[in-house]
Amino acid sequence: MTASYQVHGDVAVVTLNHPPVNGLGLATRQALVAGLEKAGQDAAVKAIVITGAGKAFSGGADITEFGTDKAFAEPNLHTVISLVEQSSKPVVAAIHGVCMGGGLELSLACHYRVVAPGCSVALPEVKLGLLPGAGGTQRLPRVLGVEAALNMIVSGEAVKSEFIAGMPGQKLFDKLVSSPEALMDEALAFARSVADARPLPLVRNLPCAHPQGDAYFQFARNMARGMAKNFPAPAMCVDAVQAAATKKKFADGLVAERELFTQLMWSPESRSLRHLFFAERAASKIPDVPADTPLRKIEKVAVIGAGTMGGGIAMNFLNAGVPVTMLEMKQEAIERGVGVMRKNYEAQVRKGKLKQDKYEQRMALLTTTLSYDDLKDADLIIEAVFEDIGVKEAVFRQLDAVARPGAILASNTSTLDVNKIAAFTRRPQDVVGMHFFSPANVMKLLEVVRGEKTAKDVLATVMAVAKKIRKTAVVAGVCDGFIGNRMIEQYVRQAGFLIDEGCTPAQVDKAIEKFGFAMGPFRMGDLAGNDIGWAIRKRRYVEHPDMKYSKTADLLCEKGRFGQKVGKGWYDYVPGKRDAIPNAEVVAMIEDYRKSEGITPRKIGDEEIVQRLVFSLVNEAAHILEEGIANKASDIDVVYIFGYGFPVYRGGPLNYANEFGLFNVVAAMRRFAQNPHDDAAFWQPAPLLARLVAEGKHFA
């Protein structure tokens, strides 16, 4: 039952009932229409109330129908809205909890709206690169005024019902009831009070204009474009609202809205945002771990190591109200680590992002210790000590000795073998990788590294913990670099070849930043510390002596140019600032290197730079998928969007490759393989990629 029908005296009540948020899927739309017809035919019924069961009026479209025929099947939302408007009996929306997207558009078609306090009201379509396509851009400005409506439509943000009800002159809500509990009684009374009112008021008949006319809309469009450079939707929301204010007939405004909506529906930006919306949800599902796997209790957390990562990791839990015990080797290290955490919180307080009392509450959840004995009650222990297998061994042997049975033992290692770490304990089933990204209290991504023996309930629990601390978690198998860093190594290697062949670091960075990356590879190296990559390469030279690398990064490190932390790297930095200033000495160093290698520099265009960088990610990702290191292509996109600054509007490397066409991607790779200064072996298309192209398929 997706909507129920009841009669209370002379008022019919149609209750949307499609958990969790009464999404307006096909069955719900059908049941709603059936309820309206029944009420229309019953002579005893004088008025109709539409409401929602559970915690919401309606959250709008049913996301499970996205991309299926059901989404637009009749009766579609337009038809439902017309039927509501055409009802000869007054229709009252009784709104509470959540009233968003199509739910708000449905309520705007009703003759009256009664609302409970605390209800979140929004048209969030812009967040998926769309605009409200069922009259929202035409009706909301008529009840709230152009500016307030545009603010909601362009931002997609929710506004509380009591705030809207208090806006002078608003016509969205006819009545704000005293409490959610009082909603139905008051909505029924309201429906009776308007049972005989004729003609019935319709939002479509209200006027819509802005005193500054087109000048205002031009201003709003410029603002929208400036704020969302690579997304067409916000500016097109302005176009749609302008149509509401300027078209003579309401119906013409609706046509304009529909045209703009259709354009956005097919835009690569919206396709990418919708892909990510589902990719993020899908990431938490692990193919062989049932959704109802019982979880282990996680009420107390311990973090070992109060360095760069340990402090940030601890903050995530404190922010979520979970007590943390932090262990270090020396009191000074504790004091330094806690000092950094305090500085971070204090900066948030100064910026008004955190209240002083909240900050104190959070810090009160933190205890520190030098003794492993204090970890014996912890449910989850996360190790973030030096990246050295000997140090990790000592830590995990101690943890094995003191941790309570069933405690989860996690390592934040970024390169070491989680299976090896698990083998230092007698409980490898309880060991898992939790690879946070720096700064750990800010970055949303968490790679959950599944060891050979990691128990399913440990994985399920860690995924739930990730949600609690507001991380987007992706499961990765054990391999060097897991998903993200394994791919980035190929990308950075290409960046090196590009400068060998004729680019400057600034040229490479600019090209990929224009493509949309938050930061190019050389600025990224300077931020992370060039010494980190240097250490990894030194290991690679021993493990894979035949692997090709540009040596420019090593030369840079030999000069001590480790990056921002020392004020110089690929670029120069002024203390306290992050601006990257090109350095002539570095450019000369690169030129000398080319000479020593006998390379005649050539001019390389942005297109080649971008393709070599991005397709190197794609090829490595295809290997990762085939090896089962990632469960699905969309997981890799999530890793790159949330952990590596890949442009959101391109939906991640594999979504981008799909859009570009895998045939074209492989053709480019074959071209790159001909370049004597590049790595021909690397550019052999991964078998999975070659297979997909042969079968005319794309990454699923």
Active site (catalytic) residues: 105, 125
Scored b (16 or more CB within 10 A) or e, 403-417 reads beeebbbbbbbbbbb
Q: Rounded to the nearest whole angstrom, what is the least distance from the CB of residue 386 to ligand NAI in the complex? A: 5
- Is position 309 an interface residue for ligand NAI (rule: CB under 6 A)? yes
Distance CA 115, CA 57 (A): 10
The answer to the question of residue 433 lying near ligand NAI (CB under 6 A) is: no
Q: CA gyration radius for the chain?
A: 29
Q: Give whichever of 528 and 553 is closer to ligand NAI, judged by the CB atom.
A: 528
Closest to ligand NAI by CB, 390 vs 696, is: 390
- Which residue has the closest beta carbon to ligand NAI? 307
Interatomic CA distance for residues 431 and 458, integer angstroms: 8
CB of 435 to ligand NAI, least distance (A): 6
With CB under 6 A as the contact rule, the residue among 87, 412, 425, 461 that binds ligand NAI is 412
With respect to ligand NAI, which residue has the nearer C-beta, 150 or 382? 382
- Using the rule CB under 6 A, is 414 a contact of ligand NAI? yes
Is the peptide bond between 75 and the residue preceding it cis, with omega within 30 degrees of 0? yes
Q: Which stretch binds ligand NAI (CB under 6 A): 124-132, 248-256, 277-285, 307-315?
A: 307-315
Alpha carbon separation from 160 to 100, 122, 125 (Å, rounded): 11, 9, 18
Tokens 């193919």 map to which residue? 287
Q: Taking contact as CB under 6 A, which single stretch among the options 139-147, 408-416, 423-431, 683-691 is the one that binds ligand NAI?
A: 408-416
In SS3 terms, 198-210 reads as CCCCCHHHCCCCC
Query: For residues 328 and 500, which CB has a smaller minimum distance to ligand NAI in the complex?
Result: 328
Contact range with ligand NAI by CB under 6 A, out of 134-142, 203-211, 340-348, 411-419? 411-419
Angle at 98 between CA 94 and CA 103, to 5 degrees: 70
Q: Is 535 in the site for ligand NAI (CB under 6 A)?
A: no
Backbone angles phi, psi at 445, to 5 degrees: -80, 140
Q: Does 541 bind ligand NAI (CB under 6 A)?
A: no
Q: Is the dihedral of CA 679, 491, 618, 628 positive or negative?
A: positive
Residue with Cβ nearer ligand NAI (96 or 435): 435
Positive or negative, the CA dihedral 478, 480, 483, 485 is positive
Q: What is the distance between the alpha carbons of residues 45 and 32, in angstroms, rounded to a whole number?
A: 16
Terminal-to-terminal C-alpha distance of the chain: 33
Among 201, 307, 406, 601, binds ligand NAI (CB under 6 A): 307
Q: Is 413 in the site for ligand NAI (CB under 6 A)?
A: yes
Part of the chain binding ligand NAI (CB under 6 A), chosen from 66-74, 166-174, 326-334, 667-675: 326-334
Among 97, 305, 484, 533, binds ligand NAI (CB under 6 A): 305
Query: Per-residue string for binding with ligand NAI, 329-348, x by CB under 6 A?
Result: x---x---------------
Neighbours of 78 (CB within 10 A): 17
CB count in 10 Å sphere of residue 30: 16
CA distance 440 to 424: 26
Query: Residue 193 in contact with residue 131, Cβ under 8 Å?
Result: no
Which residue, 50 or 309, is less far from ligand NAI as judged by CB?
Answer: 309
Whether 418 and 428 have beta carbons less than 8 Å apart is answered as no
Which residue number, 128 or 302, has a Cβ lying nearer to ligand NAI? 302
Residue 309 or residue 476: which is nearer to ligand NAI going by CB? 309
* 438 forms part of the interface with ligand NAI (CB under 6 A): yes
> What number of other Cβ atoms are within 10 A of residue 165's Cβ?
18
CA torsion sign for 328, 332, 335, 341 is: negative
Site string for ligand NAI, 378-407 (x = CB under 6 A): ------xxxx---x--xx------------
Instruction: Kindly identify the residues of this chain, within the stretch 230-259, that bind ligand NAI according to CB under 6 A.
Output: none
**How many amino acids of this chain bind ligand NAI (CB under 6 A)?**
25
Residue of the chain from 23, 135, 156, 310 that contacts ligand NAI (CB under 6 A) = 310
Binding site for ligand NAI (CB under 6 A): 304-310, 327-329, 333, 384-387, 391, 394-395, 412-414, 435-438
